[in-house]
């Protein structure tokens, strides 16, 4: 089983870490959605201090888009991704249904980390999975990211945030899910 699928959508944010897609060729189930279109810079600034910057949009790859929202404070950042592939939705559902009972993933540096322990929560009526302070090796920071993901209307939305609270993550996720 591939690394990205094992993390069930959360590793879609792992594009930063060049994680490989899971399983056979990806089949698109929906139209592409630009991750940056789900939350504006102004909306992000209402949730956390963003400073002056331009959203860092990544072009679609593997039926996924990524948007980076740098924070103005040291150690604060938010990376969002949206995937619309059938295989990514299936992997997300398998991870959160308990189909995968244990797994590890490896990042390009060769370091391994365990499958995150997700807490099922509700955000604006949607089921969302939250994993706080994951021991992912992110260079240049002394904080660990929190991870949050959800599936809505055939899209998997994933967040990886450093320096944000659970409430802030929920506000981001709620904003993004309203647009799907």
pLDDT digits (tens, 9 = 90+) for 8-63: 333 333 333 222 233 333 455 578 899 999 999 999 999 998 877 777 766 667 78
121: tokens are 């929560």
pLDDT score at 6: 30
Residues 6+ apart with CB under 8 A from 69: 39, 41, 44, 50, 55, 56, 77, 78, 79, 80
For 71-80, how does the pLDDT look when each residue is reduced to its tens digit (9 = 90+)? 888 878 899 9
pTM of model > 0.95: no
For 146-168, how does the pLDDT look when each residue is reduced to its tens digit (9 = 90+)? 889 999 999 999 999 988 999 99
For 119-133, how does the pLDDT look when each residue is reduced to its tens digit (9 = 90+)? 899 999 999 999 876
Q: Which of the pair, 91 or 98, is modelled with greater confidence?
A: 91
pLDDT score at 14: 37
Name the burial class of residue 34, with classes exposed (0-12), middle (13-18) and buried (19+) by CB atoms within 10 angstroms of its CB: middle
pLDDT score at 111: 64
Which DSSP category does 28 fall into? Answer: B
Q: Which of the pair, 92 or 24, is modelled with greater confidence?
A: 92
Mean pLDDT score across all residues of the chain: 75
């Amino acid at each position: 089983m591939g690394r990205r699928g094992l993390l069930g959508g959360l590793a879609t944010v792992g594009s930063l870490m060049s994680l490989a897609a899971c399983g056979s060729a990806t089949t698109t189930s929906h139209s592409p959605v630009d991750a940056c279109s789900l939350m504006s810079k102004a909306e992000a600034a209402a949730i956390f201090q963003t400073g002056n910057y331009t959203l860092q949009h990544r072009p679609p790859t593997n039926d996924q888009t990524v948007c980076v929202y740098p924070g103005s404070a040291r150690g604060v950042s938010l990376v969002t991704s949206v995937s619309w592939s059938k295989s990514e939705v299936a992997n997300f559902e398998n991870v959160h249904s308990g189909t995968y009972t244990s797994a590890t993933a490896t990042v390009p540096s060769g370091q391994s980390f365990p499958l995150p322990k997700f807490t099922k929560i509700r955000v604006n009526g949607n089921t969302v999975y939250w994993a706080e302070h994951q021991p992912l090796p992110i260079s240049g920071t002394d904080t660990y990211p929190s991870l949050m993901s959800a599936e809505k209307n055939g899209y998997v939305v994933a967040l990886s945030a450093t320096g944000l609270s659970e409430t802030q993550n929920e506000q981001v996720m709620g904003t993004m899910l309203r647009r799907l």
